[in-house]
């Protein structure tokens, strides 16, 4: 074949076009922002830039369907952590958290302070926000959702720990309408504790979801009781991990939360539902064989996902496709000083040095244990009462005592109490944490297993409705733990999830074919979820969002101590026809677009 000049020509690569069809050897030509040609064999044409694709895979740029990159895109517009792993488009505004609309300044300031965001908001409406991002420029494309928490907080301010009045709901509907009419792809929600959305009743949410659905949008909920939590003592008590619902939801809350999401979509008029980071509806906290995880995942798909789809609901979901989720290196001691938790005043009043010194006293240890097992305490995302085996999920990364470094808390506790699993689980696990802090107050650890979904990942990813996601924010290429958002730190996931997803589930575990894996990361979110008719596939006339990588060399960085290590094997990334990453470096340009729903 003969063509006129291209701006970029990728020759002789293995083309995986994103449709799920079989790969073939061919060439891709790019002209301007679009793909100008896709053909088997070599294209005989001149190009300003020619890429030898021999031994490489070329596919559409990855689309991250669940991201929080919008929270930091103004601060880090290059989004180097996303680009280096092949993400060319992210969906922001998830979990009910968007940076617009802004009305109650005190509420909004509290939110950005809690998230540790370096922002000085000079926008109010959703359109104002999108124009701000467009003017600033950014490398990846941004698909915006409007968050229910943001809308509710804009109307109710800090007085959100109650049902909304009719007037308040009407005002929320007005703000949501503006967002939908200026480009939002739908309404996200966050129903877990410590958020404004947790206090909304189903009726309020149904009315809002109907507004989104009437304008062609979707509903994307972070479902209720997504994490292990504990009932609050009274209606006014508010904090991370404390829910307001019947006590039985300690056990059945996750199941009911998923069913609630389906119920809301149905009541709103069968609005398309995209469940955020799906978790099994059923959980088993104690150690168990892998086949049980598979069975619980299959039961969740059958009882929640497939039953809703069979009844006509357009339902999709995403999962954080790495067993460690967003785990990162964090100081152990920070668990006892988290501003998100409801802690007793005597504990909150202590300085960290004073706390570690007092841990030498057995009486003080007993008081701290009472807090830990009192129901209102969490080690990060893990609850020591509802999940007694939290100790197997945290690995000590750095500690002056070499007997601890590199081991999980559970391994240490079992070694110290080899003849009593009860003592190891309920006593020695906490004693181990205390001893670590005495030996080294600066000791760090990392979440290495996220029990919300890790055992279910192969089953969830195989399902036609499943997609991989990162759940991370935009970061610079060299990031430190201090640049994390909401106290989560900087995770290797933020820099290498998509290479990990392909390496593990295609090459190693063979859960998916390469064609299936690419389709789930490209055309499924583009076409099936977002309704984008010109992205997510390598096809003439489509926008040139492209990734070139070596399947043989593809490998993510895994070291918690070097979380921003670039993945190996990603050769080139193209966004809207411009090369934004090559030779393991960002090129410094910002061709990304805000993709407004029309």
37 strand-pairing partners: 29
By three-state DSSP, how is residue 30 classified? strand
Q: Give, for 264, the enclosing helix (H) or strand (E).
A: helix 249-267
CA separation for the pair 262, 16 (Å, rounded): 34
Instruction: Report the pLDDT value the prediction gives residue 486, as an integer from 0 to 100.
Output: 60
Compute how many other C-beta atoms are within 10 angstroms of the C-beta atom of residue 165: 11
Residue 20, token pair as written in the block: 């799920």
CA separation for the pair 325, 327 (Å, rounded): 6
Instruction: Report the pLDDT value the prediction gives residue 265, as an integer from 0 to 100.
Output: 98
CA separation for the pair 220, 239 (Å, rounded): 23
Q: Give, for 115, the enclosing helix (H) or strand (E).
A: none
Q: Give residue-wise pLDDT tens across range 504-550.
A: 999 999 999 999 999 999 999 999 999 999 999 999 999 999 999 99
Residue 127, token pair as written in the block: 């359109």
Residues in Cβ contact with 481 at an 8 Å cutoff, skipping those fewer than 6 apart: 328, 329, 330, 489, 490, 563
User: Could you tell me the CA-to-CA distances from 598 to 348, 528, 531 in Å, in that order?
Assistant: 50, 16, 10
Please classify residue 113 by burial: count the beta carbons closer than 10 Å to its beta carbon, then call 0-12 exposed, 13-18 middle and 19+ buried.
exposed
Neighbour order of strands in the sheet with 62-64: 62-64, 87-92, 141-144
Alpha helices, DSSP H only, in 268-361? 290-300, 307-310, 345-348, 352-358
User: Could you tell me the CA-to-CA distances from 8 to 50, 53, 302, 426 in Å, in that order?
Assistant: 6, 12, 46, 61
Report the candidate in 182, 64, 110, 138 with the shortest Cα–Cα distance to residue 119. 110
Phi-psi region of 20 (alpha: psi -120 to 50; beta: other; left: phi over 0): left
* Sign for the pseudo-dihedral over CA of 150, 153, 158, 164: negative
Q: Give residue-wise pLDDT tens across range 205-240.
A: 999 999 999 999 999 999 999 888 899 998 889 989
Instruction: Report the pLDDT value the prediction gives residue 1, as an integer from 0 to 100.
Output: 46
By three-state DSSP, how is residue 73 classified? coil
CA separation for the pair 112, 121 (Å, rounded): 10
pLDDT per position in the chain (598 positions), as tens?
A: 445 699 999 999 999 999 999 999 999 999 999 999 999 998 889 999 999 999 999 999 999 999 999 999 999 999 999 999 999 999 999 999 999 999 999 999 988 888 888 888 999 999 999 999 999 999 999 999 999 999 999 999 999 999 999 999 999 999 999 999 999 999 999 999 889 999 999 999 999 999 999 999 999 999 999 888 899 998 889 989 999 999 999 999 999 999 999 999 999 999 999 999 999 999 999 999 999 999 999 999 999 999 999 999 999 999 999 999 999 999 999 999 998 899 999 999 999 999 999 999 999 999 999 999 999 999 998 999 999 999 999 999 999 999 999 999 999 999 999 999 999 999 999 999 999 999 999 999 999 998 878 899 999 999 999 999 999 999 999 876 556 666 678 999 999 999 999 999 999 999 999 999 999 999 999 999 999 999 999 999 999 999 999 999 999 999 999 999 999 999 999 999 999 999 999 999 999 999 999 8
CA separation for the pair 401, 387 (Å, rounded): 27
Task: For strands 570-575 and 394-398, give the pairing.
Answer: unpaired
Residue 134, token pair as written in the block: 């467009």
Report the candidate in 111, 192, 114 with the shortest Cα–Cα distance to residue 153. 111
Report the candidate in 505, 529, 534 with the shortest Cα–Cα distance to residue 518. 505
By three-state DSSP, how is residue 498 classified? helix
Q: Give residue-wise pLDDT tens across range 402-416.
A: 999 999 999 999 999
pTM of the entire structure?
0.97
Instruction: Report the pLDDT value the prediction gives residue 483, as an integer from 0 to 100.
Output: 63
CB 554 within 8 A of CB 569: yes
CB 27 within 8 A of CB 39: yes
Compute how many other C-beta atoms are within 10 angstroms of the C-beta atom of residue 161: 15
State the DSSP string of 437-488.
HHH-TT-EEEE---TTTGGGHHHHHHSTTEEEE-------SS--GGG-STT-
Q: Which residues of 436-447 are buried (b: 16+ CB within 10 A; e: fewer)?
A: bbeebbebbbbb
Phi-psi region of 181 (alpha: psi -120 to 50; beta: other; left: phi over 0): alpha
CA separation for the pair 524, 541 (Å, rounded): 19
Q: How many Å is the Cα radius of gyration of the chain?
A: 24
Query: What ranges make up the beta strands (E) of 107-235?
Result: 141-144, 146-147, 186-190, 218-222, 230-231
Q: Which residue in this structure is represented by tokens 């609630």?
A: 260
Instruction: Report the pLDDT value the prediction gives residue 116, as an integer from 0 to 100.
Output: 83
Report the candidate in 376, 458, 388, 359 with the shortest Cα–Cα distance to residue 193. 376
């Amino acid at each position: 074949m003969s063509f006129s000049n291209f701006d970029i020509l990728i020759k002789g690569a293995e083309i995986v076009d994103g449709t799920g069809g079989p790969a073939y050897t061919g060439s891709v030509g790019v002209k301007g922002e679009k793909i100008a040609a896709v053909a088997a064999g070599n294209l005989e044409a001149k190009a300003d830039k020619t890429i030898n694709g021999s031994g490489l895979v070329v596919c559409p740029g990855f689309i991250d369907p669940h991201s929080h990159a919008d929270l930091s895109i103004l601060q880090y517009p290059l989004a180097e952590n996303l680009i280096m792993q092949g993400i060319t488009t992210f969906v922001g505004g998830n979990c009910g958290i968007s940076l617009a609309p802004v009305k109650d300044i005190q509420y909004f300031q509290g939110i950005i302070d809690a998230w540790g965001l370096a922002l000085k908001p000079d926008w109010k409406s959703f359109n104002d926000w999108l124009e701000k991002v467009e003017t600033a420029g950014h490398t990846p494309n941004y698909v915006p959702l409007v968050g229910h928490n943001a809308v509710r907080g804009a109307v109710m301010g800090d007085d959100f720990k109650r049902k909304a009045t009719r007037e308040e709901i009407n005002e929320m509907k007005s703000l949501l309408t503006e967002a939908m009419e200026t480009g939002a792809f739908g309404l996200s929600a966050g129903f877990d504790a410590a958020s404004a959305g947790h206090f909304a009743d189903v009726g309020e949410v149904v009315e809002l979801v109907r507004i989104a659905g009437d304008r062609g949008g979707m509903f994307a909920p972070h479902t209720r009781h997504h994490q292990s939590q504990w009932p609050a003592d009274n209606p006014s008590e508010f904090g991370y991990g404390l829910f307001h619902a019947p006590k039985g939801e300690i056990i059945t809350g996750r199941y009911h939360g998923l069913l609630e999401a389906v119920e809301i979509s149905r009541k709103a008029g069968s609005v398309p539902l995209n469940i955020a980071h799906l978790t099994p509806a059923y959980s088993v906290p104690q150690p168990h064989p892998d086949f049980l995880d598979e069975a619980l995942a299959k039961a969740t798909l059958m009882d929640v996902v497939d039953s809703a789809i069979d009844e006509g609901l357009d339902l999709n979901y995403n999962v954080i496709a790495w067993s460690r989720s967003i785990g990162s290196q964090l100081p152990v001691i920070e668990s006892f000083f988290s501003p998100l938790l409801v802690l007793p005043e005597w504990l909150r009043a202590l300085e960290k040095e004073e706390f570690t010194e007092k841990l030498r006293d057995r009486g003080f240890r007993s008081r701290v244990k009472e807090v830990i097992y009192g129901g209102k305490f969490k080690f990060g995302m893990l609850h020591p009462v509802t999940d007694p085996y939290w100790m197997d999920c945290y690995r000590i990364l750095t500690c002056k005592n070499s007997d601890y470094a590199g081991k999980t808390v559970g391994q240490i506790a079992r070694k110290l109490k080899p003849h009593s699993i009860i003592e190891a689980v309920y006593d020695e696990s906490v004693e181990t944490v205390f001893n670590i802090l005495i030996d080294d107050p600066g000791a760090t650890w990392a979440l290495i297993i996220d029990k919300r979904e890790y055992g279910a990942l192969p089953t969830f990813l195989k399902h036609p409705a499943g997609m991989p996601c990162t759940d991370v924010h935009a970061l610079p290429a060299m990031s430190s733990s201090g640049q994390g958002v909401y106290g989560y730190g900087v995770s290797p996931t933020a820099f290498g999830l998509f290479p990990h997803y392909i390496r593990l589930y295609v090459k190693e575990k063979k859960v998916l074919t390469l064609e299936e894996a690419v389709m789930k990361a490209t055309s499924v979110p583009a076409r099936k979820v977002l309704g984008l008719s010109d992205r997510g596939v390598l096809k003439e006339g489509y926008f040139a969002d492209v990734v070139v990588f070596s399947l043989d060399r593809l490998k993510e960085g895994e070291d918690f101590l070097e979380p921003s290590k670039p993945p190996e094997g990603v050769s080139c990334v193209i966004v809207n026809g411009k090369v934004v990453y090559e030779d393991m470096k960002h090129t410094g340009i910002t061709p990304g677009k805000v993709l407004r729903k029309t």
